[in-house]
Structure 1
Amino acid sequence: MNNRTNIKNLFNIIRLIIIIMLTAATTHAQQPGSPADSGYAPVNGIKVYYKVYGQGQPLVLLHGAFMTIDGNWGKLIPELSKNHKVIALELQGHGHTPYSDRKLSHATLAGDVAGVMDYLHIDSADVAGYSFGGAIAYQFAIQHPRRLKKLVIISATYKSEGWLPQVNAAFKQMKPEFFDQSPMHAAYNAVAPDTTKWIPFLQQMIASAQQPFNLGDANIANITAPVLIIAGDNDGLDKLGLIKTYQLLGGNVVAGFGPAPASQLAIVPGQGHVSLMEQTATLLNYFNGFLK
C-alpha cells in the first residue's frame, strides 16, 4: 500500500469519526421543557442566547462545539434545575446565537459568559462545561475567579496537548464538507437566526479547533475554586495529562495522610467522548455530590 493510499484511508477514517460523533451528539437531543426565562443578552458586541430553569444556587452550563443547549444538556437540565437555577448559554454562532465575524478566542467567550451573568444580575455561580465548553469554563475560572463557586469540567482540556494525537490529527483534517447533510446541519437550520451563515460558522469553528492553545499550567494551579473533572476512560483525553491536571488542582494525594483535596477526579469506565454525556444518572450523581 503506497503512502497516498495510507493518507486517503486516514482521511476517510477521520471523516467517519467526526460524522459518528456529530450524529450521536444530535440524535440524542432532548427538549428539557419550558424555561422560566429565555432571550438574548447583549454582550461584547453580540447577542448571546440563554435559557433559565429552576431556582437555587446559579449553575451556568456551557455546551460543546457545534452543539446547542438542548442537544448537549437536554437530559440533565430537568434534574439539575430541581436544586439549582440553571443558566444555559449558546456560544457565539451556535444555536439561536447569531453568527458574528468577531474573532473567536477563549478569553472573548469567557467574557461573554460573564456578560450574560451581568445581564441576569448573577454575581457568582457554579460553572459546568463539556468539551469545547469545558475549555471556556477553564478560561472563565482564570479570568473571573471571584465569580466562580465551583467548576465542573466534562471531557475537556485546557491545552491542545491534553488530547491524544489522533484527536489533534482529526482537528487538522476537519473540513466544512464533513458536515454536509449531517444531523448537526439540520439542528442548525432549525434554530439559527440566519441559516446562510452555516458555512462561515463552520469555517470559524474549524479554524479555532485547528489553532493550538494552552491556558497555562500556572493559571490552572492558581484556580482556588473546587474543580470536578469528569472524563470517559476512552474519550480522547490523554489520561497521563489528566492526572497532571488533577495534581495542579491539589489532587493525587494519599487520603488520610492530610486534608482531602477540594477538587475531585472521576473516570467513567467504558465511555467515549460522546457516550459519556449519555450517562445521565452517573453524571447527575457526580454533579449532586460535588455541588451540594
Structure 2
Amino acid sequence: MTTTHGYAPVNGLEMYYEVHGTGAPLVLIHGSFSGIGTSFGRLLPHLAKNRQVIAVELQGHGRTADIDRPLTIPHLADDVAALLRHLDVGQADVLGYSLGAGITLELARRHPELTRKLVLVSLAHAESGFNPGLLEGMSALEPAHLEGSPFHQEYLDTAPNPQDFPTLVAKVKRMTEENPYWSAEAVRSVQTPVLTVIGDSDIVRPEHAAEMFRLFGGGVAGDVAGLPNSRLAVLPGTTHVTVVHRADLLAPMVEEFLDAPVTQND
C-alpha cells in the first residue's frame, strides 16, 4: 500500500497530512484532542485497501502546530479545503468524526464543489442533540483530566510543541462554548449524499441522529419512494470513543455507501 506524508502551507498553518493507498480520494477528519492515530488507527487500513485515503491533522492537533488564531469550525473547514486544493484534489468523499464531522458538514456547505459524499460520525447539528450533561462536562474539563489518556499520549508523541496541550484544551473548550451549530434549514440545504453514523451509547441522542437523517432526505418508505441517497447507521454496543474503533461494522458500511450509485428520487 502506497503511503506518503507531508506538510502543506494553508492559511498560515503548516498542516500535516498523510496519503494512504490509491483510488478515489477519501478524506478523514479526526475529533477534538485527537489525531490520525487515535481517531482512525483501526479504520484507516481497511478504507485504504481500495481508496486513496487522505488523513489530516487540524490546527493545534497532532503534528500540526498551533497558530495565533481561535479554533472555529469555519476556519478548520477552510483549512481542509485549502489542503485539498494544494494537493490538487478536485472532489473527494469526506468522513469526519465528532468535531471532524462538524467540519465535514461545514466543508460541504462552504465548498460544495470539493465534496461528493459525506460520512458524519457522531455529529449533533443542534445543542439539543447531545445527551444531557455532556456540554456541561466539557465546560468543566481541565488538562489534568486527560493526562494518561490515549489522546494525551498521542499528543506528547507527535506534537511539535508538547507543552502546548493546555492551550489546546482551552481552545477546544472555547470553540465548544461558542459553536453556533446549524439550523435545520442549513442541514437540509446540503445536497451531498450523507451517511449519518452514531453508536447506540454515543454522546448524540439516537432521536437526533434520526432527525438529521430526515433532514438529509432519509426516513421515507423506500419500497414506494425508492431508497434515498442518504443513510443512517446506529452501531450496537458502541460508545462515542469506540464508534471509530468498530472497523468490523463501520468499514463495510462506508465502502458500500461510497460505492452506491446516486439516484434521482426527488
2:209 maps to amino acid: L
The corresponding residue for 2:161 is 194
Unmatched 5+ residue regions in structure 1?
Answer: 1-33
Alignment pair present for 1:137 and 2:104: yes
Q: 1:112 to 1:177 in 2, by over 3 A?
A: same
Moved over 6 A (4+): none
Unmatched 5+ residue regions in structure 2?
Answer: 260-266
CA contact (8 A) 1:150 1:226 kept: yes
Which of 135, 146, 158 aligns to 2:125? It is 158
CA distance in 2, matches of 1:57, 1:88: 14
SS in 2 for 1:168: helix
SS in 1 for 2:222: coil
The corresponding residue for 2:147 is 180
1:168-199: CA deviation from partner (whole Å, max 9, x where unpaired): 22112212232234443222111111122222
The corresponding residue for 2:207 is 240
The corresponding residue for 2:30 is 63
Structure 2-normalised TM-score?
A: 0.93
CA distance in 2, matches of 1:213, 1:136: 13
Structure with higher Rg: it is 1
CA distance in 2, matches of 1:117, 1:157: 25
Q: How many residues align?
A: 259
The corresponding residue for 1:30 is none
The corresponding residue for 1:280 is 247
The corresponding residue for 1:260 is 227
1:281 maps to amino acid: D
1:280 maps to amino acid: A
Tell me the percent identity. Answer: 35
Mapping 1:5-24, distance limit 5 Å? none
Kindly report the root-mean-square deviation, in angstroms, between the aligned alpha carbons of the 2 structures. 1.5
CA contact (8 A) 1:35 1:51 kept: no
**What is the CA-CA distance between 1:165 and the residue it aligns to?**
1.7
1:14-56: CA deviation from partner (whole Å, max 9, x where unpaired): xxxxxxxxxxxxxxxxxxxx86221111111111100001111
CA contact (8 A) 1:68 1:94 kept: yes
1:200 maps to amino acid: T
The corresponding residue for 1:171 is 138
CA contact (8 A) 1:124 1:149 kept: yes
Q: 1:186 to 1:35 in 2, by over 3 A?
A: farther
